[in-house]
A and B are shown apart, each in its own frame.
Chain A
Amino acid sequence: MLGRFDYERPTNLAEAVRLFAETPSAAILAGGTDLLVELRSGRHAPRLLVDVKRVDGLRRLDVGPRGDLTIGAAVSLNELLEHAATRWSFPGLAQAAASIATYQLRNRATVTGNLCNASPAADLAPALLVLGAAVGVAGPRGARVIPVAEFFAGVKRTTLRRGEIATEVRIPAPEPELRSAFLKQQRLRGHDLAVANVAGALAPSTGTLRLAFGSCAPTPILLAPIETKGMSAVAVGAAAAAATLAAASPISDVRASAEYRRAVLPVLVRRVVAELLGGGAT
């Protein structure tokens, strides 16, 4: 039973914002793969669903002149994965998207929705954090841009203000030859939420490594940039693993214990570092 609610499917953004802002207890429906689970369980009982899939402009998936990427809020994971420029420029993001759920669900689930759900285990979050991505927002008091690094306020909480709708994810133009990678520990090879996930991006020209991880703290976490020039992959991996563990505060749940998360998180970090910097994993 999904409860009783009204349903609106606006076609322009201003109307969507108005409907969403003026109704207390409204929810945004994009892919619905998280929302419908919440509705069915009764944990969430909104009075209005605002379906944004038909809103003009939210299906855009554009590469800018310098290689920056804009992903509209109605773009599904499979649409992102079928987008050659994404796979080419941001392989870590593609790996993260491909690791989510099943093919059928990826036909529904959206990139933006994965962030807005604000799960600590959101697989796209670390992948977007290391790319310096931001979320474009429209609200009753106008538009603004929130860096993904400032988007998560806690478990299932974002820094979106009341009435604000996330309209797109923006990834800045990648640094030259940018390498990126994503790894996820799960209980089986088939679809599963992350026990831990780690993304990394390395700009070879500057040697700056960005790392982010998820499912091991109340929010996905971006580490301070790590300078790798003159360091071996093993040394970088060790330093990165230590920094990750220092930032992690995992809990035990039915999927894994905190101890297991603490054990595999540095393994994933070392493997991501090894993949980006070359050299064998420890």
Chain B
Amino acid sequence: MAELRVVGQPVPREDAVDKVTGAARYTTDLALPGTLRAAILTSPHASARIVRIDTSAALAVPGVRAVLTGADLDIRLGLYLRDKRILARDVVRYQGEAVAAVAADTLDAAREACHLLRVEYQELPAVFDPRDARKPEAPLVHPDLATYDHMRGVFFPKAGTNIAHHQKVRKGDSAAALAASDVCLEVSFDNPPVQHVPMETHAAIAHALPGGRVEVWTSSQSPYTVRHLLALAFGMPHAAIRVHVPHVGGGFGGKAGLGLEPLAYVLSRACGGRPVEIAMTREEEFNTTPSRQGLYSTIRLGATRDGRLTALEAEYVWDAGAYADYGVNVGRAAAYSGAGPYALDHCSIDSYVVYTNKVYGTAYRGFGHLEVLWGVERAMDRMARALGLDPVEFRRRNLLREGATTITGEPFTNGHGKPIECLEAAAEAIGWGRRPSAPSAPHKVRGKGVAMLHKAPAMPTYTSCAAIVKLDEDGAADVLVSGVDYGQGTYTVLRQVAAEELGLPIDKVHITWECDTAMTPYDWQTVASRFAYMGGNAVIEACADCLCQLRAVAAGALGVPADGLVCRDGKVFPRQDPARGIAYKDLALGYTFPNGNSIGGPVIGHGRYIATGLTNLDPETGQGRPAQFWTYGAHAVEIEVDTETGEIEVLRIATALDAGKVLNPLLCRGQVVGGIVQGLGSAVLEGFRFDDKGRLLNPNFVDYKIPTAKDLPREIVPILLENPQPGGPYGARGVAEHPMISVPSAIGNALRDALGIEFESLPLSSERVLEKILVARAPRPDTP
């Protein structure tokens, strides 16, 4: 490959100045004149029948334009399983579920009207723990599950139960292999549900238009998926729906799929086509919009005495909450990744996504992998200890390497990247093998831990996207895509890709920041760490199309064959005669000869990309090819624990990822730092707390804490390896979600090293840590 000029450079993000100056426009900045404001009333009960709703007082509030309840809306929504109403109809299934909505001239009027709605509920039995929900006597969250439409052949809801999906993975004969193992262990782990906590809460504006059309502005990761799901839900042609996505203040998976858009639309319709804006309060963001699912896992490992893994069995029980949303796909993806990046001949995984009467789950950075690897990577450390092996050495012996196959039967090749190099680089960076340095006080202890991570994009086998690149009058390029840059930095990377391919400097390449399904070309969704990979490939193809057009026009202008022309430095010239070059600006709209004759026309390139070689998984064995690419990595941490208060401080964390090719080191390191901090939240702070009636106890920033700048590890060491990915743009893989995955596992392993105590539950809060320290120190009765 020729030397790269722009790709691989630390180009600063283009959006930074607009964001820090407040110039960037977000959804609620875009309200049209005359826009109505909407508010929702939510259920105080986790499970109840809606006996009646009296709307008369609400309708009498001055300025109220519409009041809607579930009774008005006979529509079911769902990504994979159509189980959800726009507003609860007949029953509510979680505390916080929207029961009614009001649109009014002002937000105050809408909220006042919500307060005046009189809802009569009849409480119903509820179930909160997914392990209880699997029992035969459990109340059914969806008694009509058998009648729901779902994506057949991929998801398998079990009629008459609370199981929304059961994903199986079967490879070899795990039972026999475990029985024949020298050493076996079984351990159970759990993770609570957590919130994404985007800086900008969910918001949408809908404008119902004459002729059954609608225009939507939304804080979303997925303009085309929003359009598609709206079209399905309302039976509208796609062209009748136009979805705009302006700047988005963070998503982390929580703004994938469909959110507030259908509600905004039906309210706008009910108000005779006035535009309606709805935005979540922070409390609603916690109580009403979906979260990351909780997980209960049980893992059995077998190994030979010389440290070879023989088998892994796992049962994953996901707390889906009241609706399936993305949760069923999390349960699917985390199952086919559910053994970690290890070479295993024998593996059996059952992943159950189980309905409960709690706020429902959805995608969240890592898509189930942080949760399952919390258990797997803690179990690997325990096995290493049981074998008397160093945890790094034990992993080194068992990681995937050329010649092995994944648990779904995919051959592991040289193009997959190097998990072993990641492990060794991370371990080395924290001085693995040397004792931890002396603690900073007598009541503190230090420990080290490592953990592996891996993840592939979880997406349909036919996932595709497109890019358009058009040249301006001045020879600069504009890139149009419909993947959303909601903070990852992908747009900057795509500009770099276009600059590289077109032979332009970075400041001559622009990207359109607002996605618009009427203007920007198709992209499935901006999720799964696949945008730089797939969007990058589409931009490369679109640039090649531009260059082809440029060469064709230049060939006509110069009277030479097109295939002898080179495009570089904003000019097209014959390879042998660079001085005869024509600038892009003289070709971008067509070329004009001195006598006025013109040829060509505006240069607009089109590129596309579709996932290649993926297969659906066998329903009984999970065997198949689910992954466009895998990204592997490892964390190594050194922590200090205050044994009197239970506080953990991360002294140093080294994170090695095999990025294939680092397209932008500045942004890549930013992703690593951000992911580590978000992973730290899951590790030591975050988790929903519910009372015995299923009410969320910490739906605000007083009671639910996420890491702040003061909570950063003292030292973060990002290590980016570049073993190229065949098919990736310049050999790149996605790295967006990965830094977050397995941060809790590494800290849990370091905690075991520091204290000699095993932790199975997240978060590793100071309180939980101290409790275990005190129990471990308490005198025990003598055992015979």
Contacts and interface: CB of A to CB of B under 8 A. Distances in A.
Interface of A: 1, 185, 187-193, 254-257, 259-260, 263-264, 267, 280-282
A264 B108 contact: no
Contacts of A264: 644-645, 770
Given A193-B702, A254-B697, 17 more contacts: A185-B645, A188-B707, A188-B708, A188-B710, A189-B710, A257-B767, A259-B771, A260-B766, A260-B771, A263-B774, A264-B644, A264-B770, A267-B644, A267-B645, A280-B442, A281-B441, A281-B443
Contacts of A192: 705
A122 B441 CA distance: 29
Contacts of A191: 708
A190 B709 contact: yes
B711 A190 contact: yes
Contacts, number: 53
A268 to B, nearest CB: 8
B425 to A, nearest CB: 29
B709 to A, nearest CB: 7
A168 to B, nearest CB: 28
18 contacts: A1-B107, A1-B111, A1-B112, A185-B645, A187-B685, A188-B685, A190-B705, A190-B709, A191-B708, A193-B702, A254-B697, A260-B767, A260-B770, A263-B774, A264-B644, A267-B645, A281-B442, A281-B443
A282 B443 CA distance: 7
Contacts of A257: 767
Interface of B: 107-108, 111-112, 441-443, 644-645, 684-685, 689, 697-698, 702-703, 705, 707-711, 765-767, 770-771, 774
B771 A254 contact: no
Contacts of B711: 188-190
Contact of B765 (A187, A263, A267, A281): A187
A257 B443 CA distance: 22
B709 A1 contact: no
Interchain residue pairs A-B with the least CB separation, the first 8: A190-B708, A189-B710, A260-B767, A1-B111, A267-B644, A190-B710, A254-B697, A254-B703
Contacts of A188: 684-685, 705, 707-708, 710-711
Nearest to A196: B645
Contacts of A280: 442
Contact of B689 (A1, A190, A254, A259): A254
A257 B697 CA distance: 14
Contacts of B441: 281
Residue among A256, A259, A264 with the most chain B CB within 10 A? Answer: A264
Contacts of B709: 190
Nearest to A264: B645
Residue among B702, B765, B767 with the most chain A CB within 10 A? Answer: B767
Residue among A187, A267, A280 with the most chain B CB within 10 A? Answer: A187
A65 B108 CA distance: 52
Contacts of B710: 188-190
Contacts of B442: 280-281
Contacts of A189: 708, 710-711
A255 B111 CA distance: 30
Nearest to B644: A267
Contacts of A185: 645, 766
Nearest to B109: A1
Contacts of B108: 1
A282 B685 CA distance: 27
Nearest to A268: B645
Contacts of A256: 767
A188 B706 CA distance: 8
A190 B701 CA distance: 12
A190 B706 CA distance: 9
Nearest to A4: B108
Contacts of B697: 254
A267 B698 CA distance: 27
Contacts of B645: 185, 264, 267
Contacts of B644: 264, 267
A192 B107 CA distance: 30
A282 B442 CA distance: 8
A188 B767 CA distance: 11
Nearest to B773: A263
A135 B112 CA distance: 39
B112 to A, nearest CB: 7
Contact of A187 (B111, B443, B689, B705): B705
Contacts of B111: 1
A272 to B, nearest CB: 13
A185 B769 CA distance: 14
Contacts of B685: 187-188
A267 B773 CA distance: 14
A254 B685 CA distance: 12
Contacts of B443: 281-282
B20 to A, nearest CB: 16
A264 B647 CA distance: 11
B5 to A, nearest CB: 41
Contacts of A282: 443
